[in-house]
Amino acid sequence: MQLSFFILSSLACLAAATPIEKRHLSAWPSPVRTYFSALSSRLAAIRDITPKTLPTCTFTSAVLPNSSLPAPSPGLIPWHIAVGRGTQNYTCDTSTPQAAPKPAGAVATLYNTSCLAAINPYMLSLVPAAALSVSAPLPGKGLFPTQSILSGHHFFSDLTTATFNLHTERANYGITFNKKIANVTAPATNAGDVPNKGPDGSKPVPWLKLQTQTPNGNVAPSDDLGGVKEVYRVNTAGGAAPSTCVNMPATFEVQYAAEYWFYGTA
Ligand SMILES: *[C@@H]1O[C@H](CO)[C@@H](O)[C@H](O)[C@H]1NC(C)=O
Ligand SMILES: *[C@@H]1O[C@H](CO)[C@@H](O)[C@H](O)[C@H]1NC(C)=O
Ligand SMILES: *[C@@H]1O[C@H](CO)[C@@H](O)[C@H](O)[C@H]1NC(C)=O
Ligand SMILES: *[C@@H]1O[C@H](CO)[C@@H](O)[C@H](O)[C@H]1NC(C)=O
């Protein structure tokens, strides 16, 4: 495909806006080339929704990527859609190297991709692998390659409680505590044909459905806004552990990225 002037200038612009060096187009990792090739044919629609400030759009009718996970509960609508970029953590008992690594939580930064989800979910499905193929954004920088801005932080408040804190300097959208209620093996590719292994060769982590829980001790923090009821992790890229602990240290991290879809009451 002939890449247009706009694509090359947006590449240059993105390179300048992020800690990522300028490269000849062919030198970018293939998920990044796939993203910009797809962008070239959709530029008019996409260009307006990836600025450095938040765009305006209606995303409550955005459609979750297909999978065999249970559908969102009746009455819930998309409340926020983010791409998370971070690490999955694991532990190994080094005395039993043939055993599988055990999950030990995850830490990710969330970037607001709500408008992209609404306007072009296919483009969004390219983002996790593209974001994972380059180093994570420095603090204060947008997500490569969409320039999506920070919307929150994902971490585990205990081994099984996935926490999403959407309180940033810009706005307070609350905090939610979630338990896994369903999981499915990630498909071999995203959106039909988009490679979703990490640059380290790691397979994509499973797709999940999470449900919000009352936090430990039944005491909600003051900024638990309660709007979010269910959270999905889909279109995952990388992050899975090797199948055994052979040659692995007692604790390690695997880089990953994924779409997170938050469902809530309007
Ligand atoms: C995400 O972006 C949308 C559209 O610009 C905005 O309305 C919403 O407030 C943002 N959400 C968060 C959690 O930052
Ligand atoms: C998702 O599923 C719906 C309903 O089964 C189907 O109409 C649609 O084509 C599917 N979309 C994709 C991208 O597979
Ligand atoms: C997981 O990795 C993050 C990022 O390096 C680190 O801060 C955190 O302590 C690790 N968590 C566990 C449970 O090892
Ligand atoms: C789903 O979760 C269960 C329980 O945590 C686990 O045993 C199983 O391996 C997981 N399956 C997939 C596909 O992730």
Task: Provide the pLDDT for residue 48.
Answer: 53
Query: Nearest bound ligand to CA 115?
Result: 1
Query: 94 and 182: one domain?
Result: yes
- Do the domain assignments include residue 235? yes
Q: With a 6 A CB cut-off, is 151 part of the ligand 1 pocket?
A: yes
Query: 107 and 213: one domain?
Result: yes
| Tens-place pLDDT, residues 121-179 | 999 999 999 999 999 999 989 999 998 999 999 999 888 889 999 989 888 888 888 99
pTM of the model: 0.84
Residues spanned by the domain of 31: 2-46
Is the CB of residue 195 less than 8 Å from the CB of residue 203?
no
- Provide the number of structural domains found in the chain: 2
- Do the domain assignments include residue 54? no
Check whether 107 has a pLDDT greater than 80: yes
- The residue assigned the tokens 């929704």 is 49
Query: 257 and 232: one domain?
Result: yes
Which of 61, 112, 170 has the most ligand 1 atoms within 8 A of CB, as the residue to mutate? Answer: 112
- Do the domain assignments include residue 102? yes
Task: Provide the pLDDT for residue 62.
Answer: 94
Taking CA atoms only, the protein residue closest to ligand 4 atom 10 is 183
Amino acid, res. 239:
G
CA distance 156 to 199: 25
Query: 164 and 231: one domain?
Result: yes
Query: 25 and 123: one domain?
Result: no
Task: Provide the pLDDT for residue 52.
Answer: 56
Query: 63 and 169: one domain?
Result: yes
| Tens-place pLDDT, residues 181-202 | 999 999 999 988 889 999 999 9
Q: With a 6 A CB cut-off, is 182 part of the ligand 1 pocket?
A: no
Query: 107 and 10: one domain?
Result: no
Query: 148 and 255: one domain?
Result: yes
Query: 39 and 75: one domain?
Result: no
